[in-house]
Amino acid sequence: MSAFELVGMLVAIVAVLGFVNYRFIHLPDIIGITAAGSLLAFALAIVGRHVPSVVEWAGALASRIDFPELVFHGFLGVLLFASSLHIDFAQLARQKWPVLVLSTIGVLISTVLVGCGSWWVLGALGETVELKWCLMFGALISPTDPIAVLGVLKKVSAPKALEMDIAGESLFNDGMGVVAYLTLLGIATGAMEPTWTGVAGLLALEVLGAVGVGLVVGYGAFLMLKGVDSHPVEILITIALATGGYALAERLHVSAPLATVVMGLVIGNHGARDAMSDTTRQRLFEFWDLLDELLNLMLFGLLALTLLSLMRAEESWLPVVALVPVVLVARFISVGAPAIVLRPFLQRRTPHAVKVLTWGGLRGGLSVALALSLPDFGQKDLLVLGTYAVVLFSLLVQAPTLGLLLKRLGLGR
């Protein structure tokens, strides 16, 4: 099968999943496509017990999807840029302390809690996984997924301050999550020594370097936009920014996701206000809204289909499912503890913020891509399936019920 045929088949499958959801399941598009794809994966796994050739064919097809490559060098830069275009920098600045603490200290607390908690729970269930790999699982599952979170926030009516906490955290915690993941990966593989100076240097390079690159490249694109009054050319400049800027950040060894978010903030605020006509602004935002929706549907459809490549092995599902409450408890503590510390420094907080932030901490394609990128070791499949379990629970249970939780707490309409 050629690359073109593979892409055509995958797009057709995702389109059929979207049709099935619209006609029969009636969930929001992203959630419904994920649900339909997951049901397809499990159905094929059941059929495969009686007709092995079916699941072998499906697994071989799914295994040809290089999901980490597709996420990190295909979807991620474009989707993060599209999402950050809509973030009001003034509102973000008003919520800077909750966003900063949740996206840094909160991620580190969650990484440690998930790592130690999963190590203990899996050991109690008879699965021996070294602590270093459990900590890496904690690092890859702790950052909330901005693509999943922002997609759901469009559908619910959260208070503005709380919405900015959730959106801002999800956009900025990738930097800390990647630093934690790379640090633990280096320690686990013996590539680096676990020293404070080494970690601090990596943090400075990844995060501060990304902010600097994002500001410089974003301002350069702003100057180009200011000198042009043609909406096709201006849209093309923003596409180049989301793709070329992401690639440049990777080449400079800084956090490409964070750099792209900064670029989007520059264009969505400064650029939209001072460098575009009303017509260009409208058409540019309409273009990015449509592209955002289409790529989201593709991403989450492919996310569900990649399950097929793991459904051939006989697995005990109890240890996999047990990781879900571990992650939820760690999320509650990692959100609640900073909230207690921050309370004296905040003028006003939304009631029940910790509950909403806990339940609204969705995971998505980023966590799966990082899990699939783990080095090969004896229990890798267990942690990959555990990552899928957490992601599917967040998308199929937490996301659809977030609006109901807000209404129950008196925070939504």
pLDDT means per 10 residues in the chain (413 residues)? 76 86 80 81 72 70 80 87 87 83 89 95 91 93 82 73 83 77 78 68 80 94 90 92 94 89 92 84 90 84 76 69 95 88 62 86 87 87 90 89 84 66
pLDDT at 177: 78
Q: Is 238 left (phi over 0), alpha (psi -120 to 50) or beta?
A: alpha
pLDDT at 55: 65
pLDDT at 201: 74
pLDDT at 191: 67
Q: What are phi and psi of 365, to 5 degrees?
A: -65, -30
pLDDT at 345: 55
Q: State if pTM tops 0.85.
A: yes
Max Cα separation, the chain? Answer: 65
Among candidate residues 223, 219, 225, 234, the one with its CA nearest the CA of residue 283:
234
